[in-house]
Amino acid sequence: MTMTEGSTTGSATELDRDLFDALAFAPPPAATAAATQRVAAAIVLASTMHERRGHRSNGFLARLVLSIRGTARRRRAVALLFAVLILGGAGRGLLGLYEGMVGPEGSARTAWDRATIVGASQTHDGYRVTIERAYADANVLMLAISVHDLQNRGWTQVSAMGATATDERGDSFAGSMSMSSPDGPSVAANVAWFTSPPGLTPGQHTLSISVPAVSVRDTSTPPPAESPGVATGEDSWTPWHEVAGPWRFTVPLTVGGGSMVHPQSSASVGGTEVRLTEVTVSPASVTGTIAVSGAAGGGQWLPVGQVEHAGHTYALHSGVLGPDAAITFQASDGTTQTSGEWTLRINELVGSDGTQQVRLAGPWVLTFWMP
């Protein structure tokens, strides 16, 4: 298929839809996990270099916005391909979109299957926002949020991301990732992920959830014309704009538990020591904190590897750079069967020396026990 700048076969929306149908595919789980680890490593590298150049950094927060946010015309093909890979399930209805977003297995699937069906809606300025489902445990909070433009104002897409959540004590859940996928131009399924606040106990809680704004995508105004050699400020142009809310909800929710240990186990490879200081295992996630010392190239590293227990393997898929060079990792799923021996196997550490990526080969193998 060849596209040229002057092509006029159908509208932009029809072209998007045709590409979705023609090119959509489901990558193998192993490929998805490997790609996620490499993307996370690249973000760590960028964060490290940004901080060393004298900019203030709040650490590593990988916020993944899974929607079409095109910029200038020459980037349109890239934006479409990105949308195809992420939004290939469009047209299957909200439930079908959510099923595609959480996938067949892993942390997102576990949280979705264990979530409470909430169904709380609020309408503001003709936009109905609904908290469809919610799940929380000692590690994570997942919110499934839908948005519907009841007046069908002719946008090409809507989304509802940027939600905030606090518990009845006022403790905030830290946002970590958001996804949005449309079902036609006026409806979208959204999933928001958060990290639970320290000390969140199992049992009944009351969450205060706010969606400050919804976003709408308007392609009726094209991007500015480009002239060779003339800067057009293309990075500032976007077909998206926000409709201010807020949409507020009070949601009673039973929070799942989790088991925490402080192993203080360590392993050294080539003069680089990794010390495991904390692990929390919950039904939907395994998180832990490590400290790296003795390594050349700095103290900010992303671990690439896995957690193993009772014949099951949980790939590490994210890392957060915390204070004092502490690194908090998260694994691809959790379990309710926590007791016994566990192993953290780090095959590689990815970091930066300030100018380029540094990759240290392992493995660092650390054993610990959960009650």
Greater confidence (232 vs 349) lies with: 349
Give first-to-last CA distance, the chain, whole Å. 58
Task: Please state the separation of Cα 325 from the chain's center in Å.
Answer: 22
All structural domains of the chain with their residue ranges: 89-255, 259-370
Q: Is 351 exposed, middle or buried (0-12, 13-18, 19+ CB in 10 A)?
A: buried
Q: What angle do CA 182, 187, 191 make, to 5 degrees?
A: 60
pLDDT digits (tens, 9 = 90+) for 196-224: 998 899 999 999 999 999 999 887 777 76
What is the CATH code for 259-370?
Answer: 2.60.40.1640
Lowest mean pLDDT among 191-200, 292-301, 350-359: 292-301
What is the CATH code for 89-255?
Answer: 2.60.40.1630
Q: What Cα–Cα distance (Å) separates residue 322 from each residue in 59, 250, 290?
A: 6, 31, 10
Task: Return phi, psi of residue 191, to 5°.
Answer: -125, 130
Residue pair 321/44 in contact (Cβ under 8 Å)? The answer is: yes
Position 86 pLDDT exceeds 90: no
Q: What Cα–Cα distance (Å) separates residue 28 from each residue in 33, 42, 235?
A: 9, 21, 33
Q: Which of 301, 371, 295 is nearest to 339 (CA)?
A: 371
89-255 shares its CATH topology with 259-370: yes
pLDDT digits (tens, 9 = 90+) for 315-363: 987 665 544 567 888 898 999 999 999 999 999 988 776 677 788 898 9
Q: Which of 238, 193, 153, 158 is nearest to 63 (CA)?
A: 193
Give the model's pLDDT for residue 256: 92
Task: Please state the separation of Cα 53 from the chain's center in Å.
Answer: 26
Confidence (pTM): 0.73
Strands (E), the chain: 65-66, 116-124, 127-136, 140-149, 157-159, 164-166, 174-182, 187-195, 203-217, 240-255, 259-261, 265-269, 272-282, 285-293, 301-309, 312-321, 326-331, 340-352, 357-370
Give the model's pLDDT for residue 196: 93
Question: Mean of the pLDDT values across residues 228-234?
Answer: 54
